[in-house]
C-alpha cells in the first residue's frame, strides 16, 4: 500500500479521496500519513487487523499491520482514520484473531446449533506468520461436542495466548419457549363495568 505524508487538515484530506492515518513503532517517531481510500480498504479486506504487509512511504518500504481504524458511525463503510504499527522482522506481534464457523448453516431448522463461546483469540507471532481469522468446521459435530483452544490446528510460528482448555464452540440443543396465550374474559369485564355504572347511578339518586 502506498502512503503519503499528510500535511493538510483532515477534512481536506478526506475530500480528495484519501484516508488520514498515523504510522508508529518502536524504532520510529509517530508520522502523520494518508492513503487512498480504495487502497486502504483493499488492504483491510486482504490483511485484516492482524496480518502484516508492505507499505511504501517516501521511497522506503515498511512492514506494518493495521492496529486500529475508525468508521463513520452513521456510515460504517466510510473509513475516517487508521493506525499502522510498523514492526521489524524479528519483533513479535500480539493481535486478536477472530473465530469463524464453517458449516453452521446446515443446522438451520434443526434441534441442534453451534454456540460460539469465544469470538476471538489472542495470538503471538512474527511478521509474515499471522492470520486474519481462524476457521472451525462444525459441519460434522453433534449434540454435546465441544471444540477447545487446544484442538485448533495452527502454524508452528504462531502461539495462542489463551487457556488450552477453554471452550470455543459447544453444540447445544435448541429450546423453543412457547408464549402462553393471554385471553381476556370480555363478558366478565363487561359485567364489572355495568355493575360499577349501576352503583354510581344508585349513589347519585340517593344524594338527590
**Buried b or exposed e, range 30-42, using 16+ CB within 10 angstroms:** ebebbbbeeebee
Task: Give the model's pLDDT for residue 109.
Answer: 87
- Model-wide pTM > 0.75: no
Q: Considering the chain, tell me which residue range(s) the CATH 2.170.120.20 domain(s) occupy.
A: 94-173
CA distance 171 to 54: 40
**Given phi > 0 = left and psi -120 to 50 = alpha, else beta, which region is 45?**
alpha
CA distance 1 to 43: 7
Domain 94-173, CATH class in plain words: mainly beta
Element (H, E) at 115: strand 112-116
State the cell numbers at 5: 505524508
Task: Give the model's pLDDT for residue 197.
Answer: 66
Looking from the CA of 199 toward its CB, the CA atoms found within 13 Å total 6
pLDDT digits (tens, 9 = 90+) for 120-159: 999 998 887 778 889 999 999 999 999 999 999 887 788 9
Task: Give the model's pLDDT for residue 203.
Answer: 57
Domain 4-89, CATH number (from 2.60.40.10, 3.30.300.30, 1.25.40.20, 2.40.240.10) = 2.40.240.10
Q: Considering the chain, tell me which residue range(s) the CATH 2.40.240.10 domain(s) occupy.
A: 4-89
pLDDT digits (tens, 9 = 90+) for 32-83: 999 999 999 999 999 988 888 999 999 999 999 999 999 999 998 999 999 9
Residue 177 confidence (pLDDT) above 70:
no
- What number is the average pLDDT over the span 170-189? 67
Residue 180 confidence (pLDDT) above 60:
no
Averaged pLDDT of the chain? 87
Q: CA 170 → CA 31, 77, 115, 154, 166, distances in Å? A: 45, 33, 5, 20, 11
Q: CA 9 → CA 6, 13, 53, distances in Å? A: 8, 6, 27
State the cell numbers at 171: 453444540
Amino acid at each position: 500500500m502506498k502512503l503519503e505524508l499528510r500535511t493538510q487538515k483532515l477534512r481536506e484530506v478526506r475530500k480528495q479521496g484519501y484516508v488520514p492515518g498515523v504510522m508508529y513503532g518502536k524504532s520510529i517517531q509517530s508520522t502523520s500519513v494518508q492513503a487512498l481510500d480504495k487502497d486502504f480498504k483493499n488492504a483491510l479486506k486482504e490483511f485484516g487487523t492482524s496480518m502484516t504487509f508492505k507499505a511504501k512511504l517516501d521511497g522506503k518500504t515498511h512492514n506494518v499491520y493495521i492496529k486500529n481504524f475508525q468508521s463513520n458511525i452513521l456510515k460504517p463503510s466510510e473509513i475516517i482514520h487508521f493506525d499502522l504499527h510498523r514492526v521489524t522482522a524479528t519483533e513479535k506481534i500480539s493481535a486478536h484473531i477472530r473465530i469463524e464457523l464453517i458449516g453452521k448453516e446446515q443446522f438451520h431448522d434443526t434441534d441442534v446449533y453451534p454456540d460460539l463461546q469465544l469470538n476471538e483469540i489472542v495470538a503471538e507471532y512474527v511478521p509474515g506468520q499471522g492470520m486474519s481469522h481462524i476457521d472451525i468446521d462444525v459441519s460434522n459435530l453433534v449434540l454435546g461436542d465441544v471444540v477447545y483452544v487446544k484442538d485448533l490446528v495452527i502454524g508452528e510460528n504462531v502461539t495462542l495466548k489463551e487457556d488450552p482448555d477453554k471452550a470455543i464452540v459447544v453444540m447445544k440443543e435448541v429450546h423453543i419457549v412457547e408464549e402462553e396465550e393471554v385471553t381476556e374474559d370480555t363478558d366478565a369485564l363487561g359485567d364489572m363495568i355495568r355493575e360499577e355504572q349501576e352503583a354510581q347511578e344508585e349513589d347519585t339518586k340517593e344524594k338527590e
